[in-house]
Amino acid sequence: MMERCGTGKWITAPLGVCLLATVCCALWGSAFPCIKIGYGMFQIPAEAVNTQILFAGIRFTLAGILVIAIASLGRRRPLVPKKGSWGMILKLAACQTVLQYLFFYIGLANASGVKSSIIEGANVFISILVASLVFRQERFTGQKILGCLVGFAGVVLVNWTKDGLGAGMKWNGEGFVLLSTVAYAFSAALIKEYSRREDTVVLSGYQFAAGGLVMVAWGLVGGGRIAVTSAGPAGIGMLCYLAFISAAAYTLWSLLLKHNPVSRVAVYGFMNPVFGVILSAWLLAENDQAFGVKTALALGLVCLGIYVVNRPRAVSAADSVS
C-alpha cells in the first residue's frame, strides 16, 4: 500500500528501512513468548503436534483475512489477485506459511523461547545465501561470507553444552526451528521476484489465507482440537494478537523486500533474537538462560555478523538487485 501513497522513496531511505524493519522485528520478537503462552492458555502440550498445527493455521487464516479486509476497506474495492497470480500465491504459501511455521511451531514446543529466538536470527544469513547463490539476486562477497560465519558461530554457541551440541539440541526442537529459517529464506527471495508482477499486499493476504487453511485442514485431519472454552477471552485475545503480528509485520517486511536488496533488509533480522531474548526473559521467566554470559556472547556474535554484512561496502551498487 505504501508505494501507492507516494512513499516509495522514503521506504528505500536508510532511516525508513531502519524504523520499519525494527517495528517488524519487535512484533516478531514478541511472537516467541506469546506462542508458548498461547499453548498454555489453550492447554496444548508439547507432544500435541496436530493441535499445534491447527493453532497455527487458525492464526494465519485470521491474519490473511485481516490483510485482505483492511486493504479492501482502504482502497474501497475488493482486494483480488490477478488471474495469473495464484501460482505465485500458492508457492509463497507453501514456503512462507506452511513449511516455515510447521517447523517453527513444532520446534518451539520442544525448545526454549530464548534459544529459538537466537536460532531464528540465522534467517539473516541463510536469506543472503539463498538470494545470492540460488536466485542470483545480488552478489555474494567475501564480506558477506565472513558475516555469515560470525553469525552462525553465535547460533552454535548458544546451543553448546559441556557435552557438546548434541545434548543441548533436539532434532524436533532447535533442529526444526533452524529448518523454518531455511523455508523463510526461500520465501523472502520469492517475494522479491513476485512483487515485480503482483501487489505485495495481495501476495501477503492471500498466501496467509491459503497457507492457513492448509494447516487448519492438516491439523483437523490429524486429530488436532482447540479448547476455545478453556482459553476464555484472554486466549482469544492472544490468538488475535498473534494474527495481527503476522498481518502487520509480514506486509511491511514484504514492502521493504520489494523496494530494497534482500541483504539490506535481512540484516535487520538481528533485532529478532534481541527482542526475543528480552521478551522471553520477561514473559517466560527464562532469566537465567537469557542473561547468562554464553547467551550474551552469542547475541554479540549474531549482531557482529550482521554488522559485517551491513557495512557500507556490503550494500553498494554492485550488490544491488540485478
Q: Is residue 234 part of a domain?
A: yes
pLDDT of 58 above 90: yes
The set of long-range contacts for 37-42, using a CB threshold of 8 Å and a minimum separation of 24, is 37/238, 37/283, 37/284, 38/235, 38/238, 38/239, 38/242, 39/109, 41/231, 41/232, 41/234, 41/235, 41/238, 42/226, 42/227, 42/228, 42/230, 42/231, 42/235
Full domain range(s) for residue 197? 16-311
Q: What is the pLDDT of residue 63?
A: 94
Q: Where does the pLDDT of residue 17 fall: very low under 50, low under 70, confident under 90, or very high at 90 and above?
A: confident
pTM of the model: 0.78
Residue 75 CA to its chain's centroid (Å)? 27
Q: Is residue 321 part of a domain?
A: no
Q: What is the pLDDT of residue 114?
A: 64
Q: Where does the pLDDT of residue 3 fall: very low under 50, low under 70, confident under 90, or very high at 90 and above?
A: very low
pLDDT of 191 above 80: yes
Q: Is residue 73 part of a domain?
A: yes
Please state, in angstroms and rounded to a whole number, the distance separating the CA atoms of residues 249 and 266.
14
- Please, what is the average pLDDT of the chain? 81
Q: Is residue 317 part of a domain?
A: no
pLDDT of 56 above 50: yes
Q: Is residue 52 part of a domain?
A: yes
Give mean pLDDT, residues 64-90: 92
Q: What is the pLDDT of residue 101?
A: 82
pLDDT tens-digit readout, 94-119: 998 899 888 887 787 777 766 776 77
Give mean pLDDT, residues 245-264: 88
Structural domain count of the chain: 1
Q: Is residue 8 part of a domain?
A: no
Q: Is residue 120 part of a domain?
A: yes
Q: Is residue 322 part of a domain?
A: no
Q: What is the pLDDT of residue 54?
A: 93
pLDDT tens-digit readout, 198-229: 898 999 999 999 999 999 999 999 999 988 88
φ, ψ (nearest 5 deg) of residue 224: -70, 140
Q: Where does the pLDDT of residue 156 fall: very low under 50, low under 70, confident under 90, or very high at 90 and above?
A: confident
pLDDT of 285 above 80: no
164 DSSP β-pair partners: 161
